[in-house]
Amino acid sequence: MSIRNASFKLLPLFSSSLFSPLVLHFHSIIYSNNNINTNKNDHIPHSNPTQPHLQQFLLEKSQLGFDKLEDALNLFVEMLHMRPLLPVMKFNQLLAGLVKMKQYSLAVSLFSDMCYFSIPVDVSTLNTVINCFCRLYRVDYGFSLLAVIFKRGFVPTVVTYNTLVSGLVLRDQVVEAERLFRMLIMFGEVEPSVVTYNIIVSGLRKTGQTFEAVNLLKSMEKRGCEPDSVTYNTVIDCLCKEKLVDHALDLLGEMCNRGILPDVMTYTSLIQGFCNLNRLGDVARLLREMDVRNILPDVYICSVIVDAYCREGMPEAGECVVKTMIQRGVYPPAITYTKLMDGYCFRGEVDRAVAVLYIMRSTGLAPDSYVYNILIDGFCRMHKVDKAIELSRKMSAEGLKPAIETYNTIIHGLFQMGRTVEAQKLFYLMVNEGNKPNTASCRILLDGLLKKQYIDEGISGIHDIS
C-alpha cells in the first residue's frame, strides 16, 4: 500500500473540526489552483532548493517557529512545486516550525496535503503528526498513524511510543499509558528511555499514585536506565504533596550523591511541602542551601514562603524574604505584598503594612481596591478611622471606586468610635452614589443605631433602603 493510499484511508478520520477557518481557506486555494502563490513576503527565500539560505531558513524556523502563518503556508506551496523535490527532512522542518507555534491543526492539514500530492514521508514526519494529534487530545488518531507506520514497513522509534504515552497521560488515561509502557518492556519493541519513564512518573503524580512513582524510580536502575533531574523532581513533588517531606529529603540526598544537581523546581516542591507543614526552620535551611548552590528562588517560592510566615504570625520574616528577592533582581507579584500587609494588619501593625505598600509602589506595582480594603480594615480595627477615611479618598483619587465592603468597614469603624451621625451620613452617601447596601450594610447600620438607642432612625433607615 502506498503512503498516498494509506493517507486516504485516514483522511476521513481527520474531522474538519480540527482545522481553523484559515486552514480550510488555504485548502480551497491549494486544491483549486496548482499555481504558486506569488503574493509572498519579501523575506521568504526564493525556491532554489540548492540555496544554503533556504536550508538555513528552514532549520531556523524548525527551532523557533515562523513569524507569521502566511509565511509557512506560502513556503509550503513553493516547496510543493520545486523540482527536484526537497528532501523529506525539509518538509519535516517546516512541520516542526508549526509545532513550535502550537499550530497543531495546521501541521496535520499540511501533512494531509503532502500525502495527497505523494510527497514522501518518513517516521520523523509521522512522529510529528502523532504529536500534533496528541496535543489536540486526539490520541486515537495518533494510534491510527502508528498503524500506518507498520503498514509502510517503517520501524516505530522510542519517540513514537513516548509521544503516544504522553498523549494518553495528557488525556488522563494513565492506566492505558502504563499498559502501553509495560507492553513495550514485555515485547521488547523498544527500550524505554528516561523520557518514557518521566512521562509515566508524571502521569502517576497526576493521579496521586506516589508509591507507584517511587517504585518506578527504583525499577529504572534495575533496567539500566539512569533517572535524571526531571525524574527526581517529579517523585520529590509527589512525596511533598503527600506530606512525606522527610522521604523527599532522602531522595534529594540520593539525587546529589548520583551527581544530579537539584534545581529551582526541586526546592520549590520541598519548600512548598515544608510550608504546608509549618516547618519554617527547614524552609530557612533550604533557602540557605539554595544560596550556597547559587540557585535563585523564583517569585512562586517567594509567595509561598511569605504566605507561610504570615500564617504563623511572622510577617517581618516574610518581609525579609521579599527585600532579599528585590535586592537580587526578582520582583514578587502584587499578591505577595498583599499577604504581607494582611499579616501586619492582623497583628495590629498597620503602619508597617503601609510601609510595605511603599515598597510595593517602589517596584512599579500599583495597589488595587483589595490592597486598600486591607489597610482600611486595619486602621478601623485600631480605631484610626480618620486614617481609613483618608485612604478611601486617596483610593478614589487614584480612580479606584470604593466597594460596598470598603464603606461597610468605615461605617462600622465610625459606629465603634461613637461617631453615629458621621456613620449615618456615610451610609446615605454610599446609597446616593448608587451603591446598593448588602445584608452586612443593613446589619451594621441597625446594630450601630440600636446600640445608641436610635430605634426610630434604625427603622427609618431600613425603610428607606427597601
User: What is the DSSP track for 122-184?
Assistant: -HHHHHHHHHHHHHTT-HHHHHHHHHHHHHTT----HHHHHHHHHHHHHTT-HHHHHHHHHHH
- Angstrom CA distances, 249 to 37, 243, 408, stand at 60, 12, 48
pLDDT band at 454; cut points 50, 70, 90:
low
Q: Do the beta carbons of residue 89 and residue 59 sit within 8 Å?
A: no
| One-character DSSP codes across 341-366 | HHHHHHTT-HHHHHHHHHHHHHTTPP
Q: How far apart are CA 319 and CA 327, in angstroms?
A: 12
Question: What letters, b where the CB count within 10 A reaches 16 and e where it falls short, cover 83-100?
Answer: eebbeeebbbbbbbbbbe
Compute the average pLDDT of residues 377-390: 94
Burial class (CB in 10 A: 0-12, 13-18, 19+), 330: middle
20-29, 145-154, 265-274: lowest mean pLDDT where? Answer: 20-29
Q: Do the beta carbons of residue 168 and residue 176 sit within 8 Å?
A: yes
pLDDT exceeds 80 at position 159: yes
Residues 6+ away with beta carbon under 8 Å from 332: 299, 302, 303, 306, 322, 325, 326
Task: Look at residues 244, 247, 215 and name the one whose alpha carbon lies nearest to residue 231.
Answer: 215
Compute the average pLDDT of residues 381-408: 92
pLDDT band at 459; cut points 50, 70, 90:
low
pLDDT band at 48; cut points 50, 70, 90:
low
pLDDT exceeds 90 at position 344: yes
pLDDT exceeds 60 at position 24: no
pLDDT exceeds 50 at position 39: no
| Domain coordinates in residue numbering, the chain | 1-145
Task: Look at residues 167, 101, 176, 95 and name the one whose alpha carbon lies nearest to residue 138.
Answer: 167
* Per-residue pLDDT tens over the stretch 411-442: 999 999 989 889 889 988 888 888 888 888 88
- Residue 292's identity, in one-letter code, is V
Q: What would the grid cell of residue 214 be?
A: 517511587
Mean pLDDT of the chain: 86
Q: How far apart are CA 213 and CA 244, in angstroms?
A: 13
Compute the average pLDDT of residues 108-134: 94
Q: What would the grid cell of residue 230 be?
A: 526531571
Q: What is the pLDDT of residue 5?
A: 36
- Residue 42's identity, in one-letter code, is D
Q: What is the pLDDT of residue 21?
A: 52
Percent of the chain past pLDDT 90, that is, above it, reads 64
Q: Which residue has the higher pLDDT, 18 or 176?
A: 176
Q: What is the pLDDT of residue 57?
A: 81
Q: How far apart are CA 287 and CA 122, in angstroms?
A: 49
Q: What is the pLDDT of residue 433?
A: 83
Q: Which residue has the higher pLDDT, 137 or 67?
A: 137
Q: How many CB atoms lie within 10 A of CB 223?
A: 10
* Per-residue pLDDT tens over the stretch 312-343: 999 999 999 999 989 988 899 999 999 999 99
Place of cell 528532501: 87
Q: What is the pLDDT of residue 8?
A: 31
